[in-house]
Amino acid sequence: MTGRLSPRFTTPLLALLVLGLFLLPWIAGRYPVYLAMQILILAVFSLGFNLLFGYTGLLSFGQAGFFAVGAYGSAKILLAVPNLILGIAGGVAAAGVAAFLLGILSVRHTRIYFSMLTLAFGMMIYSLAWKWRDFTGGDDGLVGVPRAPIDIPGLLSISVAAQDRYYYVVLVLSLLAIAAMYRLVRSPLGLTLQAIRDSEIRTEFAGVPVRKYRLVAFTIAGVYAGLAGALLAPLENTVTPPIAHWTMSAEPVLATLIGGIHTFGGPIVGAFLFFVIKDIIVRYTEYWLIWFGVIVVALVMGFPSGIMSIFAQRPK
Amino acid sequence: MSKNFTALGSIVVFTVFLFPGGPAQAQAQCKLGVPSIKVGVQGVASGPLADYGRQIEMGATLATEEINAAGGVLGCRVEMRFMDDENRAATGVKNTRLLVTDWGANFTVGTDSSGVAMALGPVLAELKRIQFFTHAATQRLTEELVAAKGIKEIVRVSAPIYQDAIVAALLFKDRKDIKRWATIGADYEYGYVAWNLFKETLRKYRPDVEFVGEAWAPFLTLDFSPHIAAVMAQKPDAIFATPWGGEAVQLLRQALIQGVFDNVQVWWQAMGGSVDVLEGIAAEVAKDRFKGKLWATARYIHNWPDTPENKAFVERFRKRWARFPNYSAETTYSAFFIMKAAVEKAQSLDTVRVLGALKGMQIRNPAGVRVFRSEDQQFIYNVPAGRPVIDPKYPIPVLGDLKVFEAKDYYRNPPFTPVAITK
């Protein structure tokens, strides 16, 4: 990690944090555990978004569409076949396929044109969720999505119906997703994406098929959004159309901006702050949007490169 | 770096000091052995439907103040916390988890949206907490989640969609001059079910009636002119309209511009008796631009019943908030007194015992007598339909020429048969 803090300091700190997360159900009440799941899900969602935005230079306003595909895919499978592995894998695969197909059309453009295309595709998915009542349940959504057991026929069957047990599913998958992304952004693929972000023309002249790399980044971001959505469906037991709305796409954008787009941990820290700040404010006023806005403006103005800019420099 | 930390510290300090909190004062004489009875309340408090959540909050606040001023519930002070569910199921679920598992709510009350209500059902079962629903109208909440699936933590105080649809069929079944009906419907389950229930009921009385047109307006529609033009092209005698809140006001104004009231005999605006709609069409009602053809109902109207209880409630509400109570205000206010009566009878806050105390309950509220039906845990009460008129006693239009139907005649009864929930 390129940063001002040395690994001698950060490694034990991260180990302690992970240990704390594993011990959370023993040391905290039900609501903090629920909140931790929400934060982890937004962190995974935001990490995928930042692969596009921070590492590839593409600002997508349509990630909620893939989040919803993951959530609806997972919910439909879990309502038909009560097997959590199938549900989550199916949701992720559906989001990946949707991202790949829409990515072929989206990555033909960059800058505002790319953003508008992704916004349009995201809202198309929102309309589908709203209108395709036979499949999605329309405005009432899909209700009663079970936290089905982790089931490998003939081998094991672990019940995760209790919230504390499901927390470990979310925690383990989120940590794996974070670790995979950490490796990815430091791999040749990740470095090539950063090269495309910094100079598309120079990278193209170096013989890199820029559009294909962008499509790969777009698909991976879709897979991460899908994983986040697939984890949300059993947590909430319900999936409804607003999760596909563009306002949902704004959440990873805000979380990433608050945390910092040029640091790996920025979206994760941003997701934490996003939820915690909102959670504090809504306890005291129903006019939370005003106060939340004031605090986000203060954070963005006070830390234009995100909160994580305190600790780290922009990766080379 | 130190400068950055200082800035971060300032924001944290600002947040903490801006939103201070403190433990509730214990009430020494509380017979339930708790510092207070906590009631979590939620509704839509942001966006274009925010007035409905605001009315829920006003009703809850007034009820809390009155109950506490009269000595609380079994000597226990009632503490209320209101939260905005943003009309989003995910936020509603998160709020409920926060209110119950973090704040320690003994009961929850409110919820405007049917979608949010349906999402809350399984969560309430998991948390084993009763919610008194005070606006969400989908019949599935009580018919499916309570009667069929057995989620007993759901109790509905407000009138469901039967009010919107079946009352209209009973009201117009004898109008022989109306043979062709069309709908301008809300393009989601509420609109579809209301129209289907209306058609199903009216066909029983009037096999000769035709349903000639349908136009569906999505949530947050601003321009209804294509919908109006589409159904008017079918030359209907009457319109059945289900957009609500500000959308209903917009729809009615555009219908006036397009001359609809010169060409139809009746316009049924399902929730048009809501205070925000009546306020919105006040100028048009004053000029009689609807020509007496506009009919509406609500889940409570403040000028009915003509009882001392209702008059006193409206007076207190106006004194406290300088507004008339909407139906979501009355239903929420009444939910608090239903909760109070049930806890006093159960002598406990335990969910099972309070549910037991609700059985057979008949309670006099501002809206009249509500009767608890155990099979679907729905409170049953009458609300009339009428025409918006100017009454010198009120600064805003009220529903007049009231037609009252007995709730037993228009509430669906268990065992429930499925209703089509598609267009």
Backbone angles phi, psi at A139, to 5 degrees: -70, -25
Reply yes or no on whether the pLDDT at B140 is more than 70.
Answer: yes
Label residue A308 by pLDDT band (50, 70, 90).
Answer: confident
On whether any CB of chain B is under 8 Å from the CB of A246, the answer is no
Between CA B274 and CA B106 the distance in angstroms is: 30
Nearest to A55 by CA among A254, A197, A182, A164: A197
Residue contact B89–A240, C-beta within 8 A: yes
Backbone angles phi, psi at A294, to 5 degrees: -60, -45
Q: Which residues of A touch B119 (CB under 8 A)?
A: 141, 143, 236-238, 240
B28-159+307-380 shares its CATH topology with B162-298+384-410: yes
- Greater confidence (A85 vs A295) lies with A85
Residue contact A237–B5, C-beta within 8 A: no
Q: Which residues of A touch B126 (CB under 8 A)?
A: 163, 237
Label residue A30 by pLDDT band (50, 70, 90).
Answer: confident
- Greater confidence (A285 vs B386) lies with B386
Between CA B38 and CA B330 the distance in angstroms is: 20
Nearest to A58 by CA among A214, A261, A270: A214
Residue A200: is it exposed, middle or buried by C-beta count within 10 angstroms (0-12/13-18/19+)?
Answer: middle
| B234 neighbors B212 (Cβ within 8 angstroms) | yes
Q: Which residues of B touch A270 (CB under 8 A)?
A: none
Backbone angles phi, psi at B56, to 5 degrees: -60, -45
Q: What is the pLDDT of residue A5?
A: 63
In angstroms, the separation between the Cα of residue B206 and the nearest Cα of chain A is 30
Residue B166, amino acid: I
Is B28-159+307-380 assigned to CATH 3.40.50.2300?
yes
pLDDT tens string B149-201? 999 999 999 999 999 999 999 999 999 999 999 999 998 889 999 999 999 99
In angstroms, the separation between the Cα of residue B102 and the nearest Cα of chain A is 6
pLDDT tens string A204-224? 887 888 888 889 999 999 999
Residue contact B89–A242, C-beta within 8 A: yes
Q: What is the pLDDT of residue A148?
A: 85
In angstroms, the separation between the Cα of residue B223 and the nearest Cα of chain A is 18
Q: What is the pLDDT of residue B8?
A: 47
Reply yes or no on whether the pLDDT at A290 is more than 90.
Answer: no
**What is the token pair recorded at B247?**
């959308």
Q: Which residue has the tokens 């069409």?
A: B281
Reply yes or no on whether the pLDDT at B395 is more than 90.
Answer: yes
Nearest to A42 by CA among A241, A215, A259, A272: A272
Between CA A24 and CA B422 the distance in angstroms is: 44
Find the mean pLDDT for residues B289-293.
96
Between CA A266 and CA A300 the distance in angstroms is: 13
CA distances to A24, A261, A272, B21, B203 from A28, rounded to whole Å, are 6, 31, 16, 20, 58
Q: Which residues of A touch B15 (CB under 8 A)?
A: 277, 280-281, 295
Residue A206, amino acid: A
Report strand pairing: B130-133 vs B362-365.
unpaired
At residue B383, the 3 state secondary structure works out as coil
Residue contact B101–A279, C-beta within 8 A: no
Reply yes or no on whether the pLDDT at B115 is more than 50.
Answer: yes
pLDDT tens string B333-361? 999 999 999 999 999 999 999 999 999 99
Name the least confident of A268-277, B149-158, B254-263, B286-295: A268-277
Q: What is the pLDDT of residue A313?
A: 54
Residue contact A303–B7, C-beta within 8 A: yes
Label residue B21 by pLDDT band (50, 70, 90).
Answer: very low
Between CA B385 and CA B117 the distance in angstroms is: 26
On whether any CB of chain B is under 8 Å from the CB of A74, the answer is no
Q: Kindly state the percentage of chain A with pLDDT values over 90.
A: 30
Residue A194: is it exposed, middle or buried by C-beta count within 10 angstroms (0-12/13-18/19+)?
Answer: middle
Q: What is the pLDDT of residue A316?
A: 45
Residue contact B101–A288, C-beta within 8 A: no
Report strand pairing: B368-373 vs B130-133.
unpaired
CA distances to A208, B98, B288 from A176, rounded to whole Å, are 29, 28, 67
Q: What is the pLDDT of residue A312?
A: 62
Q: Which residue has the tokens 């009580």?
A: B142
Residue B142, amino acid: T
At residue A198, the 3 state secondary structure works out as helix
Residue contact A139–B5, C-beta within 8 A: no
- B18 sits in the region (left: phi over 0; alpha: psi -120 to 50; else beta) called alpha
Residue of chain B whose Cα is closest to the Cα of A232: B90
How many Cβ atoms are within 10 Å of B154's Cβ, its own excluded?
24
Q: Which residues contact A40 (CB under 8 A, 6 or more apart)?
A: A170, A171, A174, A231, A271
Label residue A4 by pLDDT band (50, 70, 90).
Answer: low
In angstroms, the separation between the Cα of residue B343 and the nearest Cα of chain A is 26
Residue contact B189–A139, C-beta within 8 A: yes
**What is the token pair recorded at B296?**
């509406």
Q: Which residues of B touch A136 (CB under 8 A)?
A: none
For chain A, domain boundaries: 11-244
DSSP states of A100-126: HHHHHHHTTS-HHHHHHHHHHHHHHHH
Residue contact B119–A144, C-beta within 8 A: no
On whether any CB of chain B is under 8 Å from the CB of A299, the answer is yes
Q: What is the pLDDT of residue B27?
A: 47
Label residue B28 by pLDDT band (50, 70, 90).
Answer: low
DSSP states of B106-173: SEEEE---HHHHHHHHHHHHHHT-EEEESS---HHIIIIIIIIT--TTEEE-S--THHHHHHHHHHHT
DSSP states of B42-81: EE--SSTTHHHHHHHHHHHHHHHHHHHHTT-BTTBPEEEE
Reply yes or no on whether the pLDDT at B41 is more than 90.
Answer: yes
* DSSP one-letter code for A218: H
Give residue A296's Cα distance to chain centre. 19
Q: What is the pLDDT of residue A164?
A: 87
Find the mean pLDDT for residues A238-258.
85
Residue of chain A whose Cα is closest to the Cα of B16: A280
Q: What is the pLDDT of residue A202?
A: 87
Residue contact A303–B4, C-beta within 8 A: yes
- A293 sits in the region (left: phi over 0; alpha: psi -120 to 50; else beta) called alpha
Q: What is the pLDDT of residue B324?
A: 95
Residue B120: is it exposed, middle or buried by C-beta count within 10 angstroms (0-12/13-18/19+)?
Answer: buried
For chain B, domain boundaries: 28-159+307-380, 162-298+384-410
Residue contact B219–A139, C-beta within 8 A: yes
On whether any CB of chain B is under 8 Å from the CB of A313, the answer is no
Q: Which residues contact A237 (CB under 8 A, 6 or more apart)?
A: A143, A144, A145, A146, A147, B93, B119, B122, B123, B126
Q: Which residues of A touch B82 (CB under 8 A)?
A: 286
| A236 neighbors A138 (Cβ within 8 angstroms) | no
Residue A291, amino acid: W
At residue A150, the 3 state secondary structure works out as strand
pLDDT tens string A103-116? 888 878 778 888 88
Q: Which residue has the tokens 């060409």?
A: B263
| B89 neighbors A240 (Cβ within 8 angstroms) | yes
Residue B228: is it exposed, middle or buried by C-beta count within 10 angstroms (0-12/13-18/19+)?
Answer: buried
At residue B37, the 3 state secondary structure works out as strand
pLDDT tens string A109-149? 778 888 888 888 888 898 888 888 888 887 778 888 888 88
How many Cβ atoms are within 10 Å of B21's Cβ, its own excluded?
9
Domain topology for B162-298+384-410: Rossmann fold (3.40.50)
Residue contact B97–A236, C-beta within 8 A: no
Mutate to test the interface with A, among B88, B95, B96, B192 (most CBs of A within 10 A): B88
In angstroms, the separation between the Cα of residue B392 and the nearest Cα of chain A is 35
Q: What is the pLDDT of residue B87?
A: 87
| A273 neighbors A258 (Cβ within 8 angstroms) | yes
Report strand pairing: A150-152 vs A156-158.
antiparallel
How many Cβ atoms are within 10 Å of A197's Cβ, its own excluded?
17
Q: Rounded to the nearest 10 degrees, how much is the dihedral formed by the CA atoms of A62, A63, A66, A68?
A: -90
On whether any CB of chain B is under 8 Å from the CB of A209, the answer is no
Between CA B174 and CA B202 the distance in angstroms is: 10
Residue of chain B whose Cα is closest to the Cα of A133: B422
Label residue B15 by pLDDT band (50, 70, 90).
Answer: very low
pTM for this structure?
Answer: 0.84
In angstroms, the separation between the Cα of residue B177 and the nearest Cα of chain A is 36
